[in-house]
Amino acid sequence: MVQSLQLGGASNKDSSNKRLNRVPIIVAIALTVLFLGVISYGLSSRGFYFQGADGIGQASNASASTYADQLKRGVKDAIIGDPEQTQIYQPGPVSNRQGEKPQQTAETEKTERARNKPGLEPEEEWLARLGREQKEQFLRERHRQQMASLQAKAAALDSPLAVDVSLKGLTAADTTQANSQSAKTPGGASDLYAAAMQSGLSGQNGDPNMQSAKDSFFNQDIKDLGYLPNKVVPQLSRYELKRGSVIPATLITGISSDLPGRITAQTSQNVYDSAPGHQLLVPQGAKLFGRYDHK
């Protein structure tokens, strides 16, 4: 019984070994088939190549009688042929040409007149157009002057000082009235030239910024009889600073207008009284407020 069991176990081992040995056999068969396939493919491809080579050899065995014709294909023969006949120009009779020339000149003159005729305008339309242009220029100039006068009046009213604008308004009204009258009665070229020259001279010699009015406004309290409006009075207090004393100060606000305005400064040194000069009246760093003018 024991021996039979051992023999059965040995037979099972042999069968397992046989199954394992089939794998390399299958691999060898596959490699052989692949090798044979590669060889057959190479032989078939070389067979096609040899067939093509045979065709080239057959073409090379052709006769050389037509080789010269192949070389000169597309090249003309170097033979000078007969000259070609050209048509000779024959002028027409002189009488016909002279008869056609006046007709052509007359036609060209007619076409030129027809072209130039619409471009010209009658003298009446030209004068009317010039009149409209002059009137338009006059209206624009009057509008510009009116706007300038309104701006100047607004600036004068915004000034911190009282400015009399009644005279300016009267002059503006007079100028507008004179301009309207001159527009109603148009003159010749000489009148326009004289008016332009007069306006140019008045602009050069006139006073566009009204400096004389500003001077009179600034000196209105001392211009009568050459005397000061107030008399000299005795000292009222020990702490006095007379008019004309120097106060060292640094300007804080800027001056950027031609019209009178207000100004602010700050003292840079101590200021003492005018009589003995021992009493401190304005300490350093105090602010000063005042007014300024164009001068």
Using alpha carbons, list the distances in angstroms from residue 5 to 10, 15, 17, 60, 102.
9, 16, 19, 85, 146
**What range does the domain containing 269 cover?**
249-292
Span 266-291, mean pLDDT? 87
Of the listed ranges 65-79, 208-222, 262-276, the least confidently predicted one is 65-79
Domain boundary among 204, 229, 259: 204
The count of structural domains within the chain is 3
Residues 257 and 291: their CA atoms lie apart, in Å, by 12
Residues 208 and 270: their CA atoms lie apart, in Å, by 43
| pLDDT confidence of residue 169 | 47
Nearest to 259 by CA among 222, 293, 295, 213: 293
Higher pLDDT, 49 or 162: 162
Residue 268 has pLDDT above 90, yes or no: yes
**34-52 pLDDT, tens per residue?**
999 999 998 888 765 555 5
| pLDDT confidence of residue 167 | 54
| pLDDT confidence of residue 265 | 92
Q: Do 132 and 192 share a domain, yes or no?
A: yes
| pLDDT confidence of residue 144 | 93
Residue 101 has pLDDT above 80, yes or no: no
Nearest to 241 by CA among 202, 276, 198, 213: 276
Residue 281 has pLDDT above 80, yes or no: yes
Residue 209 counted as domain residue: no
Q: Work out the angle between the directed axes of helices 2-20 and 22-60 (0-180°, nearest 10).
A: 20
